A and B are shown apart, each in its own frame.
Chain A
Amino acid sequence: MDETALAAGFDATIAADQRIEPRDWMPDAYRRTLVRQIAQHAHSEIIGMQPEGNWILRAPSLRRKAILLAKVQDEAGHGMYLYAAAETLGVDREELTEKLIEGRQKYSSIFNYPALSYADIGVIGWLVDGAAICNQVPLCRCSYGPYARAMIRICKEESFHQRQGYELLLAMVRGTDAQREMVQEATNRFWWPSLMMFGPPDVASPNTEQSMAWNIKRHTNDELRQRFVDMTVPQAAALGITLPDPGLTWNAERGAHDYTEPDWDELAAVISGSGSCNAQRVAHRRRAHTDGAWVREAAAAYAEKRNRAAVAA
């Protein structure tokens, strides 16, 4: 079949809102967009283990340690689902890891902010995972089959992440004044970076239109950000804390909250490397990869030796 016929087949599949599968013909730009997006998403899960992993040993009870450990394990698992989905597009996992530790592929800017207090663990579950869920639920209907299927799995598990965070915060706001202050202070720090997780405003998001035409994205950045704000306001009220935006008010006419835009210059700066943890996060991942090299080699050598023995026998 010539390229025009193949492209027509691809367009018809998209127009019918059906899924594209790995061995189907697809435009190069579609493949590149997906590789970039899925790899960035996978890297975010892997890097996302760091701010929380740091608190496993310091969590205040066995129950909280077990929960946090399970959550961090899920994030490793989510990274694996996503790398597997990326590989169906013909990229090599080793190559993706190399691009991450060489700083040639991005991950979500939210993980370049530090987790300074234990209340941050609750706020990360509540706001960061809450924002992630807003972003991810529509991706369950993404036109690329393996990505959509990975997202279905991930979304089922993310709900635990958000609820454990919120429950942790509920426990803290029912505690002492100092604990309530910790929750408020953590919320103040994470509110703006959480809003930035949806990406730049629509007017400054050049890829959105094409991604929506391909049914990769289903909603614009601003639509999802608005949804997140509207969801979060009553949750903050139930905790008895304030979201740090004096401009946050209910707009009855729109049936939605008005809110102040985050500082987009800060987002650009963090993405380009000047967040407080960029260097630390990538260095840690690079060290883990380098330190694990002998394990990967030893396991491969052992498998090879056993194969030789099996052939000889």
Chain B
Amino acid sequence: MSAVPARRSWPLYEVFVRGKRGLNHVHVGSLHAADEEMALHNARDVYTRRNEGVSIWVVKADHIRASSPAEKDPFFAPAGDKVYRHPTFYVIPEDVPHL
């Protein structure tokens, strides 16, 4: 996500492109547009000139809420000590099949 400019220019939109059927939309960059329709058209022209996508999402940059990098460690701490969430935590005899 990008820093949001506060001045006269058109609002900033973040652009997400689905490369092909079966894949998630992935963030590819940002652009300015007066409205959502223009953002979609500009996104097509800027980010998919070589068939890079089959679907585009645009969303106003200031509508994105992001976790703070400064509190990265405490924010993700709940997952840190739960090794039992991983299959490798469990010791199973090697001769038991399909586990």
Contact = CB atoms under 8 A, between A and B. Distances in A.
Q: Do A and B come from one complex?
A: yes
Given A73-B45, A94-B5, 12 more contacts: A22-B1, A22-B3, A74-B49, A77-B49, A84-B29, A84-B30, A88-B30, A91-B5, A299-B35, A299-B38, A303-B34, A303-B35
Interface SS, A side:
helix
Contact of B3 (A24, A80, A87, A157): A87
B8 A94 contact: yes
A93 B35 CA distance: 17
Interface of A: 1, 21-25, 70, 73-74, 77, 80-81, 84-85, 87-95, 146, 149-150, 157, 296, 299-300, 302-303, 306-307
A81 B46 CA distance: 8
Interface in B1-51: 1-3, 5-10, 12, 29-32, 34-35, 38, 45-46, 49-50
A302 B34 contact: yes
Contacts of A74: 49
B33 to A, nearest CB: 8
Given A21-B69, A300-B34, A93 B9 contact: yes
Contact of B7 (A80, A92, A146, A149): A92
Given A77-B46, A81-B29, A299-B38, A22 B9 contact: no
Contact of B70 (A25, A94, A146): A25
B17 to A, nearest CB: 11
A73 B46 CA distance: 9
B72 to A, nearest CB: 9
Interface string B59-92: 0000000101110000000000000000000000
A93 B30 CA distance: 11
A26 to B, nearest CB: 11
Contacts of A303: 34-35, 38
A161 to B, nearest CB: 13
A90 B50 contact: no
Contacts of A21: 69
A93 B29 contact: no
B9 A94 contact: yes
A129 B50 CA distance: 19
A274 B20 CA distance: 49
A150 B29 CA distance: 8
B2 A87 contact: yes
Smallest CB-CB A-B distances: 9 pairs: A299-B34, A92-B5, A303-B35, A90-B3, A303-B34, A94-B9, A88-B2, A84-B30, A84-B29
Contacts of B10: 296, 299-300
B66 A23 contact: yes
A73 B70 contact: no
A84 B31 contact: yes
17 contacts: A23-B66, A25-B69, A25-B70, A73-B49, A77-B46, A80-B31, A84-B30, A87-B30, A92-B6, A93-B9, A94-B8, A95-B7, A146-B2, A149-B29, A157-B50, A296-B10, A299-B10
Contacts of B7: 92, 94-95
Contacts of A92: 5-7, 9
Contacts of A23: 1, 66, 68-69
B46 to A, nearest CB: 5
Contacts of B31: 80, 84
Contacts of B38: 299, 303
Contacts of A306: 35
Contacts of A150: 29
B3 A88 contact: yes
Nearest to A301: B34
